[in-house]
Amino acid sequence: MTGMRSLSRFGVAPLLLGLVLLLWGGAESFADRIVLRGGGEIRGKVVADPSRPDRVTVLLATGKTPLIFEKPRILQVIAEPSVLDEYVVRRGKVGPGAESQYDFGLWCESQKLADLAEFHYEAAVAQDKSFAPAHQKLGHTLVADRWLNADELRESQGLVLYKGKWVTKEDRDEREAQLTAGAEQASWVRRIRLLRQTIANSSEERARQAEQQLCEIRDPVAIVPLVRVLGRDEAPFRSLLDRVLGLIPGPEAAAALVNRLLAESAAEVREGTLAELEVRSDANIIPSFVKSLRSTNPQVVNRAAWALVNLGAVATVPKLVPALITTQYQMVMIPESNGPPPSAGGLGSVGVPIYTNGSSVGFLTPPAVGPGSVAYGATSVPVTPDLVSSLTVGNGTNHGNRGPLFKMMAYSYRNVEVHEALVEMTGQDFGYDISSWQRWVTKSFRAEPTPTRRVPQP
């Protein structure tokens, strides 16, 4: 019980004289397990606080800042000597000057008191701001004769702290703008949905007023909400969407119209989308359609070609030629059968065995392969002696079928609208022979004026 000491509410018992010396006296105290009144326990080193006789300081092995307690808060102290004992003794002998603090920090580091070591490195820097060894231990960087910590270094590089992360000022401003735009877009979504419901469900007069309010929108922030609410609606609302987008100035609305045309499945709606694009002078419209010619989706490629010819983009002929044929690549499973044929007791067209539960065997049936797709089926049959013999040979091993194999398959599509666009803009016809078209473009192509008529819809 000599290691147990306690404090009384009314004073200190004679038997606890050791703890009296610990809390009120010298620094040569034990490393303690400290039980707090009201519950809880901490580990550290209890030393007196010379500035406040009514409280004590608890040094911790981790953390640079000691804990401060009123004396009555400590209910019990259990002595467990540790390296903090020697720390307190050595701390009292540290001499003046930055080098002494630095050397003591090195000792703390050697004793795995990393936080206390950092505390003394900081003390060394506080005494001598040019003391390089301590700065280096603290991870500081010398910039133009000035030692900077990590945060100061980032600030010197033009970074700012934004929501716990260091980012550029431009990035911060962009994120703030996105947050603001997001809130504005949410408000626009609610408003547009309400107007859409009014158009669909109200009287003719109220529907006309709601449509007029939609057509009065000019804020570019409303573009994304407009497409989100109306872009997949019924055809009349999609046509209305294109009219509203056409009234909004700026490149954002032009880009939205381009995307609408490429995604629109109804020919009559695309006509309206194209009409809105024809009256705009945005420089990115034609390049956006040219970029879409490289899509792996034949529908997108054909719609882009249809738009280019009707916009009179004759200069894009060299870009249209490679788009005559679109090739898609897909990974498919191809069953491989190495087993005996049906006449020899094999599985025949049943398929590839893929599982068994003891009473039946599951098979992957041969695929049905079509352009751009492949489909498999599955079936199961009961386990019979004939089936077992067809699945095994000799020593009982599998009959040799290794199951389905993966293979990259190429599917090529002729883009009819690309071909028609080339014929319309050049007056030539080399079919889908890309090499012939390229030779002609190299030798004879000259950009011509805008075509006088539209080609049929894709």
**What is the average pLDDT across 110-119?**
91
**What is the average pLDDT across 317-330?**
92
Residues 237 and 197 in one domain: yes
Residues 129 and 210 in one domain: no
- The reply to whether 19 falls in a domain is yes
**CA separation for the pair 286, 267 (Å, rounded):** 20
Residues 236 and 137 in one domain: no
**Higher pLDDT, residue 20 or 271:** 271
Residues 101 and 23 in one domain: no
CB under 8 A, 24+ apart: contacts of 177-180 = none
Residues 187 and 258 in one domain: yes
- The reply to whether 291 falls in a domain is no
> 385-405: b or e for each residue (b if 16 or more CB lie within 10 Å)?
eebeebbeeeeeeebebeebe
Highest mean pLDDT out of 18-22, 112-116, 259-263, 408-412: 259-263
Query: What sign does the CA torsion over 126, 131, 132, 134 have?
Result: negative
- The reply to whether 393 falls in a domain is yes
Could you tell me where the DSSP H helices lie in 157-250? 169-201, 204-215, 223-230, 235-247
pLDDT for 80: 83
Residue whose tokens read 């953390």: 63
Q: How confident is the model at residue 385 (pLDDT cuts 50, 70, 90)?
A: low
Q: How confident is the model at residue 409 (pLDDT cuts 50, 70, 90)?
A: confident
- The reply to whether 457 falls in a domain is no
> Which CA distances in Å does 238 have to 116, 222, 255, 257, 397?
68, 15, 16, 11, 62
What CATH number is given to the structural domain containing 80? 2.30.30
Helix or strand holding residue 119 (H, E) = helix 114-127
Q: Which of 39, 55, 90 is the last residue of a domain?
A: 90
Residues 258 and 210 in one domain: yes
**CA separation for the pair 333, 439 (Å, rounded):** 39
Residues 224 and 251 in one domain: yes
Contacts of 236 (CB under 8 A, 6+ apart): none
Share of the chain above pLDDT 90, in %: 48
The pLDDT tens digits for 226-238 are 999 999 999 999 9
One DSSP character per residue, 133-171 reads HHHHHTT-EEETTEEE-HHHHHHHTTEEEETTEEEEHHH
- The reply to whether 328 falls in a domain is no
Residues 178 and 127 in one domain: no
Query: In total, how many domains does the chain have?
Result: 4
**What is the average pLDDT across 189-206?**
95
The distance in angstroms from the start CA to the end CA of the chain is: 95
Could you tell me where the DSSP H helices lie in 279-372? 285-292, 298-310, 317-320
Q: Which two tokens stand for residue 23?
A: 């809390």
- The reply to whether 32 falls in a domain is yes
Residues 185 and 255 in one domain: yes
**Reported pTM:** 0.53
Residues 348 and 375 in one domain: yes
Residues 86 and 134 in one domain: no
Q: What is the residue range of 114's domain?
A: 94-157
Ramachandran class of 141: left when φ > 0, alpha when ψ lies in -120 to 50, beta otherwise? beta
pLDDT for 339: 47
Residue 288 near residue 258 (C-beta atoms within 8 A): yes
Q: Kindly give the interhelix angle for 251-263 and 235-247, rounded to the nearest 10 degrees.
A: 160
- The reply to whether 384 falls in a domain is yes
- The reply to whether 415 falls in a domain is no
Q: Which of 53, 68, 90 is the last residue of a domain?
A: 90
Q: Which of 135, 157, 179 is the last residue of a domain?
A: 157
pLDDT for 74: 86
Residues 181 and 276 in one domain: yes
**CA separation for the pair 401, 399 (Å, rounded):** 6
What CATH number is given to the structural domain containing 179? 1.25.10
Q: How confident is the model at residue 400 (pLDDT cuts 50, 70, 90)?
A: very low
pLDDT for 332: 66
